[in-house]
A and B are shown apart, each in its own frame.
Chain A
Amino acid sequence: MAGERLELPEALRRAVAADLRPVRPLAPPPLRALAVAAWVPLGVVLVLALLGLRPDAAALGWPAACGALLLEVAAGLVLVVLALDEAIPARGAGTGRATAAIALAFAALALQAWFTRSLGAGTVVADPLVQLGPTCLALQAAVGLPALAIVAALVVRARPLRAVRAGALAGTGAGLMAEGIYHLHCSIADLRHVLVWHAGAVVALMLVGIAGGLAWERLQLDRLVRRGAAAPPAPRNEDGRTA
Chain B
Amino acid sequence: MGDAGTREEALVAMMVAYQGGDASAFEALYREMAGAVRGYLRSLARDATRAEDLLQETFLQLHRVRHTFDPGRPLKPWVYAIAHNVFLMQRRAMTRRGRHETIAEEELPELPIPAEVESLADRDRVRRALARLPADRREAVVLHHVLGFSFNEVGAVQDVSPGAAKVRAHRGMVELRAILRGEAS
Residues of A within 8 A of B (CB): 1-9, 11-13, 15-17, 19-26, 28, 87-92, 94-96, 158-159, 161-162, 220-221, 224-225, 229-237, 241-243
Residues of B within 8 A of A (CB): 19-21, 23, 26-27, 30-32, 34-36, 38-39, 46-47, 49-50, 53, 56-57, 59-60, 63-71, 73, 77-78, 80-82, 85, 89-90, 92-94, 96-97, 99-107, 110, 112, 131-132, 146-147, 153, 155-157, 159-161
Residue contact B70 to A25, C-beta cutoff 8 Å: yes
9 contacts between A and B (CB under 8 A): A3-B35, A13-B23, A13-B27, A25-B70, A89-B78, A229-B93, A230-B93, A233-B94, A236-B104
A12–B26 Cα distance when bound, in Å, is 11
A13–B78 Cα distance when bound, in Å, is 21
User: In chain A, what residue has the closest Cβ to B56?
Assistant: A12
Residue contact B105 to A2, C-beta cutoff 8 Å: no
Assuming A3-B36, A26-B68, is B30 touching A90 (CB within 8 A)?
A: no
A3–B103 Cα distance when bound, in Å, is 25
Residue contact B90 to A5, C-beta cutoff 8 Å: no
8 Å CB contact of B96 from A15, A17, A221? A221
8 Å CB contact of A234 from B30, B39, B57, B107? B107
Residue contact B89 to A7, C-beta cutoff 8 Å: no
A158–B66 Cα distance when bound, in Å, is 9
Residue contact B97 to A1, C-beta cutoff 8 Å: no
Give the shortest distance, in Å, between A132 (CB) and chain B (any CB): 42
A17–B80 Cα distance when bound, in Å, is 22
Known contacts A9-B56, A94-B161; 11 additional CB pairs below 8 A are A8-B27, A20-B23, A90-B77, A158-B68, A224-B90, A225-B93, A225-B96, A230-B90, A233-B100, A242-B101, A243-B102
For B156, the chain A residues whose CB sits under 8 A away are 90-91
Residue contact B105 to A243, C-beta cutoff 8 Å: yes
Assuming A5-B32, A89-B85, is B65 touching A231 (CB within 8 A)?
A: no
Residue contact A92 to B93, C-beta cutoff 8 Å: no
User: In chain B, what residue has the closest Cβ to A88?
Assistant: B68
What is the interface of chain A mostly: helix, strand, loop, or mixed?
Answer: loop
A236–B69 Cα distance when bound, in Å, is 40
8 Å CB contact of A15 from B27, B63, B100, B106? B63
Give the shortest distance, in Å, between B77 (CB) and chain A (any CB): 4
For A25, the chain B residues whose CB sits under 8 A away are 19, 67-71
Residue contact B21 to A20, C-beta cutoff 8 Å: yes
A183–B45 Cα distance when bound, in Å, is 52
Residue contact A2 to B31, C-beta cutoff 8 Å: no
For A19, the chain B residues whose CB sits under 8 A away are 63
A27–B117 Cα distance when bound, in Å, is 43
8 Å CB contact of B63 from A16, A232, A237? A16
Residue contact A221 to B89, C-beta cutoff 8 Å: yes
For B30, the chain A residues whose CB sits under 8 A away are 6, 8, 12
A90–B68 Cα distance when bound, in Å, is 10
Residue contact B101 to A2, C-beta cutoff 8 Å: no
Residue contact A90 to B78, C-beta cutoff 8 Å: yes
Residue contact A243 to B101, C-beta cutoff 8 Å: yes
8 Å CB contact of B93 from A20, A221, A235, A243? A221
For A159, the chain B residues whose CB sits under 8 A away are 64-65, 68
The 5 closest A-B pairs by CB, nearest first: A4-B35, A243-B103, A90-B81, A22-B21, A89-B81
Residue contact B94 to A230, C-beta cutoff 8 Å: yes
Most chain B CB within a 10 A radius of its CB, from A8, A9, A241: A8
Most chain B CB within a 10 A radius of its CB, from A6, A90, A243: A90
8 Å CB contact of B82 from A21, A161, A237? A161
Residue contact B20 to A22, C-beta cutoff 8 Å: yes
A17–B66 Cα distance when bound, in Å, is 14
A170–B159 Cα distance when bound, in Å, is 19
For B161, the chain A residues whose CB sits under 8 A away are 94, 96
Give the shortest distance, in Å, between A86 (CB) and chain B (any CB): 10
